[in-house]
Amino acid sequence: MATKAIVPFLVAMMLLTGVCNTLLTKYQDLQCVRNCDSSNPDDIERFSQPVIQTAQMFLGESGCWLVIAAFTLYRRFVAKDAPLLHGGYEHVGSDDSTEVDRGEEIGRSSLVQEEAEPAIKPLVLNADDRVPLVGWKIFLLAMPACCDLAGTTLMNVGLLFVAASIYQMTRGALILFVGLFSVLFLHRKIYLYQWSALFIVVAGVAVVGLAGAIAPNPQAQPTPPVPPVGNMFAARDAIKTAAVSSGELKTVLGVLMIAGAQIFTATQFVLEEWILEQYALEPLKVVGWEGIFGCLATFIGMIVLHFAVGRTDAGRNGYFDMREGWRETTHYRSVAVTSVLIMISIGGFNFFGLSITRSVSATARSIIDTCRTLFIWIVSLGLGWETFKWLQIVGFALLVYGTFLFNDIVRPPLKACVSRRKVRPLLEEEPIEHM
């Protein structure tokens, strides 16, 4: 009974933290950090530090080690006699029982995951019949961490130019690249109706991007204070014309960057699948290790790019000016507080997401992702960060239908497209997006 009661709470917390990840990052992008009182819109500068935001994400992932440490202490000193809290099943028997059938091993491994409480599933080994991922092999997780670094940084740059809802919807292109890479590298099979679903997803992303280009996000070019000139109406029209033309280009660029970033995220998922198919490691430790490797790679990259680009005249106050990024993060309270909240939210999202990934069905997970996008859209509209676009609804509907069709949640329109065999999941380890 307690197990059933906690699942809705975990789902709600996953939704809350997932929505906060995007909204807090967008809120941070809207904070003015220089020339805030200027009457010239070209002089107003807002927080634009996508590399620092990537570092925030990895620091949030690294915070998962605090949960792991707390669980280890609880297991050692409080719950000594609970076998399912120890991350595995201990077989007790005679020496003759060492010859165990592989099918029994696999069944025993899955039993541990299924019988564990949802809240501790991220801390239970993904399999007991595989080689533990220890020693130098841990560095294998640096590969997906580097993919996460590239993908997240690109998405953070894209978010500077588009509305939060368009950002979240465009990330739906992930399923396209996961499908392609699973076929190419993991030798999975995709049926005809699933290929058609991928084309529908591509169409949905295109329509969402078109909606943003036709009616650009007003926050991409913030409306400045009215300049003290004689003809205020002429000045207003000139500002609007410049903002629209610039906003359209930036929206298209942002959508392309976010969609392109899904290539790196899909590569990350496929690498994680390949590693975890061979080795055993607790899911939350996977996130924790990737957080550590990601932090190291990000900080090294920030230092190198600062000296190579950030200190030049062209790069000063730009994305790679580490000194300016640190000044903006620490000098402005709204940016600093948001940074802390983003790290907490990302850490929570990973924990709650991993807690329910094997506790609910694929249908439920797809519905949760859809609700996350809807909530981000509704809140953004309520805060006045974007305007309502009917075309965006069409794109979102195509994205949802294509994703549901691909995941076998809705039946294909043609009976001949229905597979008579049980479709094997593309990613059996069921990774989740880290932000």
Would you say residue 429 has pLDDT above 80?
Answer: no
In this predicted structure, what is the pLDDT of residue 105? 44
Residue 431 confidence (pLDDT): 65
Question: What are the DSSP calls for 95-144, one per residue?
Answer: GGGG---HHHHHHHHHHHHHHS-GGGGGGS-S-SSSEE--GGGGGGGHHH
pLDDT above 70 coverage of the chain, percent: 76
> With contact defined as beta carbons under 8 Å apart, do 178 and 333 qualify?
no
Type of residue numbered 100? V
* Confidence check: pLDDT of 335 > 70: yes
Residue range 326-351: average pLDDT? Answer: 94
Strand partners of residue 46: 32
Confidence (pLDDT) at 295? 97
Confidence of residue 242 (pLDDT cuts 50, 70, 90): very low
pLDDT for 224 beyond 50 = no
Structure token pair of residue 121: 């599933």
Q: What is the pLDDT of residues 162-171, one digit of tens each?
A: 999 999 999 9
Q: What is the pLDDT of residues 385-397, one digit of tens each?
A: 888 889 999 999 9
Residue 352 · residue 10 · CB < 8 Å = yes
- Read off the pLDDT of each residue in 374-401 and give the average, rounded to a whole number: 92
pLDDT score recorded for residue 225: 38
Q: Would the pLDDT of 129 be above 50?
A: yes
Tokens of 378: 């509704």
Contact 274, 186 (CB under 8 A): yes
What does the alpha-carbon distance between residue 178 and residue 183 come to, in Å, rounded to a whole number? 9
The tens digit of pLDDT for each residue in 34-74 reads 888 877 777 788 999 999 999 999 999 999 999 999 988 88
Q: Measured on CA atoms in the order 227, 230, 236, 241, is the torsion positive or negative?
A: negative
Count other C-beta atoms under 10 Å from residue 207's C-beta: 20
pLDDT over 90 (residue 298):
yes
Q: What is the mean pLDDT of residues 254-279?
A: 92
Under a CB-based contact definition with an 8 Å cutoff, are residues 166 and 208 in contact? yes
User: Per-residue pLDDT for 127 more than 50?
Assistant: yes
Q: What is the arithmetic mean of pLDDT over 293-298?
A: 97
CA 105 to chain centre: 33
- Average pLDDT in the 185-202 region? 87
* DSSP 8-state class, residue 306: I
Q: Who has greater pLDDT, 151 or 237? A: 151
The 3 state secondary structure assigned to 308-368 is HHHCCCCCCCCCCCHHHHHHHHHHCHHHHHHHHHHHHHHHHHHHHHHHHCCCCCHHHHHHH
Q: How far apart are CA 419 and CA 107, in angstroms?
A: 27
- Report the range out of 222-226, 269-273, 422-426 with the highest average pLDDT: 269-273
Confidence check: pLDDT of 189 > 50: yes
Give CA–CA dist 80/160, Å, rounded: 49
In this predicted structure, the answer to whether residue 229 has a pLDDT above a threshold of 50 is no
Model confidence, pTM: 0.83
Asked whether the CA dihedral 249, 254, 256, 257 is positive or negative, the reply is positive
Say if CB 123 and CB 284 are below 8 A apart.
Answer: yes
Q: For residues 290 and 141, is the Cβ–Cβ distance under 8 A?
A: yes
- Over residues 89-108, mean pLDDT: 44
Give dist(CA 302, CA 359) in Å, integer.
39
Sequence length of the chain is 435
Confidence category of residue 200, pLDDT binned at 50, 70, 90: very high
Average pLDDT score over the chain: 81
pLDDT at position 405 over 60: yes
Return d(Cα 166, Cα 205) in angstroms, integer.
9
